[in-house]
């Protein structure tokens, strides 16, 4: 029997009532509840059990307040068997790479938990609509929460995509956690500039065990987009509204996650999404005109770049510390049109003397950095700070990591940082 995560009083309670993880029970506490007993986090207390209710949400119940228990069903002992999807020679091929996101998850009915659906058979079982759109191959590259991803992971994803640049795949889906998706999208956009196939990074704001989950529809829409579009490059494919009527395809260097939990958390900064998926129709933004470039992969990153948000009271010693600890570039998130207080000037001058690249973005969500308007901006220009247009600060950070690794000196880096490599600077 499974009691994962339970110990002490809660474990005794389950054993006494002959209940294990995955059992469907009815309990009387403050009100009546019906749900599947869920595994618990390993550092949880021993006074509660967790139920997954029929609406998909979990609830913790204090065992001392449970007055009555009825077992409705026990967890199945036989594993589900899934049929391999039948390949249709008339359909194009898509590769789905998993990096650890829960976009293609399914419910484990033994425990009530959500597990990744990683094989073609599991994908077919969890999102059967995919088999009518394309023949999908799957590969697990690694399994990490997106907050744990590092530039080394960007390199692995980019190398995998590069190996498919001349393959028969119509496009590639990268299943990815949402928290750092915009960083990975930018990293792939720069390192694989001119990539000859469409790449869709897809995530889910809400897991597949919740009625409001966006997982399946995001994945289905990404597959339709890849099959029907003639566009190439890197896109983030997520809900465009809180309803299910539109899925947005954001350009990889112009996108930002602007909400913690809404299904339409991702937005294109400074414009509209490149494409909108409305059921089976793909609508192109008329103003979206991507740069046409030859495919010249440069898959290297140097993480010795600091993203520094300026605020009143920021101690300039932080810049000095960055210099002394080996950082080679600083991206400022300045105020307004691209300013920092004059208290920072000496440290910025020190950084430039030491050969660091110093770039300026804005804390404002939209608009261009224009450092020629006020004296403070002109002072920073005279110190060697480079304005970075309307580049999203996180995109500028990733671009600086990429540029630092692929240039021979700060002068060349300055040139690359002000060039429009992957649509990161818009009009």
DSSP string for 151-208: HHHHHHHHHHHHHTTTSS-SEEEEE--STTHHHHHHHHHHHTTT-SSEEEEE--SS-T
Q: Considering only the C-alpha atoms of the chain, give the largest distance between any 2 of them, rounded to a whole number of Å.
A: 76
Q: For residue 179, indicate whether it is catalytic.
A: yes
Burial of 372 (0-12, 13-18, 19+ CB in 10 A): exposed
Give the angle 400-404-408 at the CA atoms, nearest 5°: 145
- Structure-block tokens of residue 45: 């207390």
- How far is the C-alpha of 362 from the C-alpha of 382, rounded, in Å? 18
Q: For residue 99, indicate whether it is catalytic.
A: no
- Structure-block tokens of residue 200: 């869709």
Q: For residue 244, indicate whether it is catalytic.
A: no
Catalytic residue among 257, 328, 361, 399: 257
Strand partners, 22: none
Return the residue matching tokens 């050969």.
Answer: 355
Catalytic residue among 99, 178, 184, 361: 178
- How far is the C-alpha of 60 from the C-alpha of 40, rounded, in Å? 10
Q: For residue 77, indicate whether it is catalytic.
A: no
Return the residue matching tokens 């060697």.
Answer: 384
Return the residue matching tokens 């913690």.
Answer: 260
> Which H/E stretch holds residue 317?
helix 317-324
End-to-end CA distance of the chain: 62
Catalytic residue among 162, 179, 320, 379: 179
Catalytic residue among 99, 102, 253, 268: 102
- How far is the C-alpha of 234 from the C-alpha of 96, rounded, in Å? 14
CB 226 within 8 A of CB 333: no
Which are the catalytic amino acids? 102, 178-179, 257
């Amino acid at each position: 029997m499974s009691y994962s995560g339970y110990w002490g009083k809660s474990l005794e309670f389950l054993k006494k009532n002959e209940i294990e993880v995955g059992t469907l029970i009815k309990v009387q506490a403050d009100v009546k509840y019906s749900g599947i007993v869920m595994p618990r986090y390993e550092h949880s207390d021993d006074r509660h059990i967790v139920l997954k209710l029929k609406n998909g949400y979990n609830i913790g119940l204090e065992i001392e307040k449970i007055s009555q228990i009825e077992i409705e069903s026990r967890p199945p002992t036989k594993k589900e068997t899934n049929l391999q999807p039948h390949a249709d020679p008339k359909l194009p091929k898509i590769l789905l790479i998993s990096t650890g996101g829960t976009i293609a998850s399914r419910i484990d009915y033994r425990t009530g938990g959500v597990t990744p659906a990683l094989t073609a058979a599991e994908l077919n079982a969890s999102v059967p609509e995919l088999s009518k759109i394309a023949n999908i191959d799957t590969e697990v590259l690694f399994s990490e929460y997106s907050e744990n991803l590092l530039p080394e992971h960007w390199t692995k994803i980019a190398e995998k995509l590069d190996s498919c640049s001349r393959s028969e795949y119509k496009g590639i889906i990268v299943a990815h956690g949402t928290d750092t998706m915009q960083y990975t999208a930018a990293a792939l956009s720069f390192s694989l500039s001119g990539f000859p196939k469409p790449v869709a990074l897809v995530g889910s704001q809400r897991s597949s065990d919740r009625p409001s989950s966006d997982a399946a529809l995001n994945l289905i829409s990404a597959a339709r987009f890849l099959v029907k579009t003639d566009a190439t490059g890197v896109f983030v494919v997520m809900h465009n509204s809180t309803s299910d009527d539109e899925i947005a395809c954001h350009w990889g260097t112009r996108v930002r996650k602007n909400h913690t939990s809404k299904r339409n958390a991702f937005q294109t900064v400074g414009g509209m999404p490149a494409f909108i998926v409305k059921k089976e129709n793909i609508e192109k933004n008329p103003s979206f005109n991507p740069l046409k470039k030859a495919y010249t992969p440069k898959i290297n990153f140097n993480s010795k770049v600091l993203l520094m948000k300026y605020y009143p009271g920021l101690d300039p010693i932080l810049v000095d510390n960055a210099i002394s600890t080996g950082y080679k570039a600083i991206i400022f998130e300045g105020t307004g049109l691209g300013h920092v207080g004059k208290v920072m000037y000496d440290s910025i001058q020190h950084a430039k003397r030491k050969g660091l690249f110093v770039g300026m973005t804005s804390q404002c969500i939209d608009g261009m950095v224009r450092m020629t308007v006020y004296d403070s901006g002109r002072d920073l220009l005279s110190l060697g700070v480079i304005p970075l247009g309307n580049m999203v600060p996180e995109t500028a950070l990733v671009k600086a990591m990429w540029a630092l690794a692929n240039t021979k000196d700060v002068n060349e880096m300055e040139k690359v940082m002000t060039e429009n490599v992957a649509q990161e600077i818009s009009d």
